[in-house]
Amino acid sequence: MFTNAQKKSEFPPDRKYEKFYSDFAKASSKKKVKMVTELSSGELAIVYPNIKDTLEHIKRTVYYKAANGEMRFLFDVIEANLEQSKKNYAKAVFLAENSLQNHASNINDSLMCYSILKSSFMKIRNFIKAYEVNTKMEELWPRKSDSVNITYGIYKSGLYAALGFMDQAIAARRSEWLTENMAHDTDKLMSFYNNIGVYYNKQSKSDSAAPYFEKIVSLVDVKKYPPERKKHYDFIRGLAKGNLGLSYYNDGDIQKTIPLIQEDIYYSRKNDKMESVLNSYNLMVECYIKLNNVPVAKKYLDSVYMMVSSDLKDITLRMNYFLLKSRFHHAAGDYKTSNESYEKFFNLRDSVSLMEKEQSIANTEIAFKIEQKEQELKEKTRIIEQKKLIEAQQKTFRAYSFAGILFLLVIIIFLILNNQYTKNREKELSITNEKINTQNSQIEQSLKEKEVLIREIHHRVKNNLQIITSMLSLQIGKEEGTVSEEILREAKQRIDSIALTHQMLYQNDNLSSILIGEYVLNLVRQIEASLPASNIRLSTDIVSNKEKINIDNAIPLGLLINELLTNAYKHAFQGKDRGEVKVSLREDEHYFVLNVRDNGIGLPENFDTMERKSMGMDLIYILSEQLDAKLIIESKNGTSFVLNIPKNKLFV
């Protein structure tokens, strides 16, 4: 997508800012401040050092003396834009929200704050909040004053794409294009083609994506433009070819991909489009990994590192770098460095998630205060208007009043006022009911969106756990026949039991609980499939099919069953050709009774001493305490582990 930053000014930068400085010097104090608020964060970063002293003088002179909040609001906007230019996006969010709550006085002010909020939320990857802000902007935008220059920022299609909803992004972009009605503008047409192609690429639909990038190249080839614009359109052609190269990469045609990406890098560098260069470097690393050409992949990875290290505040770049580095070292056979890089990627992603949660809490509180303030303003306005109406009525009645009919006049006034109050009350109730219905609809929509997000979280947690078990499986294959193999298999089984919990949650209608009977049965079958083949027969006797268990208790219960079954298979049948293990789950009025029994050799005589040295037994005791369960161990005709788990612990 061609961003505003990629569009060239009509004048060279030096001439452009000379004109700004000239106009700034001639303007009044108030006009100076307004001129600065209309600059983008990038432009502000360039001119601010030269006008800083003047702005600070104006601020000292008028900021705290202003009769209204207009000047305070304008300085808030300047400060928020400065923080954006420094990539302190969380602080920019705080300043914009504070200004929206305390200093914004009209629709234009609110839209200016929302514009800063949306761009900042996009930078810190809080796409849900950016979508919410965009919804508010859509409501207010038609009422914006044409005389005020406000940047709308990313469209809804871009927000859908950031959230991963590519079908919705494509549909929204087509709708936006029809609304713009700019088919005669080839630059906007190329931007539209690029957007659609990128969204198809993100779905790995290369056959659908490639024609759009080819159309861009054709448009550039036939477009007539002045010589000074050649450099710009060379970049557009290179960018389209780079995206076309990504389509070939998605199809597995690396040989076609590389020359197209190299062309994109060349023209992006000539136009100082370093973000485009960085993306192309990332793809070149992936290409040479696919070709098993580790030395060349390393050169491009080092180039990525040099670019990322110069911009350490951009956490997204760092996350992508560590993920790419993990893939490279895995391909190079350096699994230790690969795992370390992957761990750094996860740590960064977790820190982003924590920041988003903290910001969400703060946003909720501020939104409540803003809503409260808006209601107070509406109520004051209503009271003032009502008073004006009453005063007008009283003046009218006094003009026609007669001393002899004073009592009758009082009765008439009372009836009119009572009737007006009743109508106003009915109108208020009607408005209140409409608001309640609208809010209920919004709450229902929000709940549906949150349900989708929670289901996606469980899905992604399960996928991430499967990635870990896949990595453990690879390591198990390398440790075959060693002590480490057994340790790794136990760790893998424990992670599988946790993954099953999340899988059943996102497949279930209820995202917070699952049927305990179905969960135990599936878990036992999964553990049985993961254990080595033997003559041991595993059977189940599950009675409960209606009661449910939440995720906080399902995970320790699953780990507990995993440990008991693993111990039975490992220790119960030493020296015996065959055996039987039975898992039963029953319930009475107050307890669930879980019994894992085997007909093996039983517990050793020194079991009390051995259990203190066994990690497995330590884990069994810890998990039992976590479930408030009473553990009974019996050794008669084999071994039996019986857990009495209180129902009030498991019920949801």
pLDDT cut 70: percent of the chain above it: 80
Q: What's the pLDDT score for residue 545?
A: 62
The structure tokens 């927000």 sit at: 159
Which pLDDT score, from 0 to 100, does residue 381 have? 53
Q: What is the pLDDT of residue 13?
A: 47
643: three-class secondary structure by DSSP = strand
d(CA 212, CA 201): 11
508-528 burial: b if 16+ Cβ within 10 Å, else e: beebebbbbbebbbbbbebbe
* Each residue's pLDDT tens digit, 129-172: 889 999 998 888 888 887 778 888 888 898 888 888 999 989 98
What share of the chain in percent tops pLDDT 90? 4
Q: How confident is the model at residue 419 (pLDDT cuts 50, 70, 90)?
A: confident
Task: Give, for 549, the enclosing helix (H) or strand (E).
Answer: strand 548-550
Q: Return d(Cα 652, Cα 641) in angstroms, integer.
A: 25
Q: For residue 610, which of 640, 643, 574, 571 has the smallest C-alpha distance? A: 571
| pLDDT level of residue 612 (50, 70, 90 thresholds) | very low
Whether the predicted pLDDT of 2 surpasses 50: no
**What are the boundaries of each domain within the chain?**
1-154, 537-650
**Helix/strand/coil (H, E, C) string of 378-415?**
HHHHHHHHHHHHHHHHHHHHHHCCCHHHHHHHHHHHHH
Higher pLDDT, 318 or 651: 318
Is residue 447 very low, low, confident or very high in pLDDT (cuts 50, 70, 90)? low
Question: What CATH number labels 537-650?
Answer: 3.30.565.10
Please give the pLDDT value at position 501.
67
Radius of gyration of the chain (CA): 34
In this prediction the pTM is 0.49
Judge whether residue 382 has pLDDT over 70: no
The stretch 383-412 carries a mean pLDDT of 75
Mean pLDDT to the nearest integer, 489-515? 68
Q: What value does the mean pLDDT take over residues 460-470?
A: 72
**pLDDT (0 to 100) of residue 332:** 82
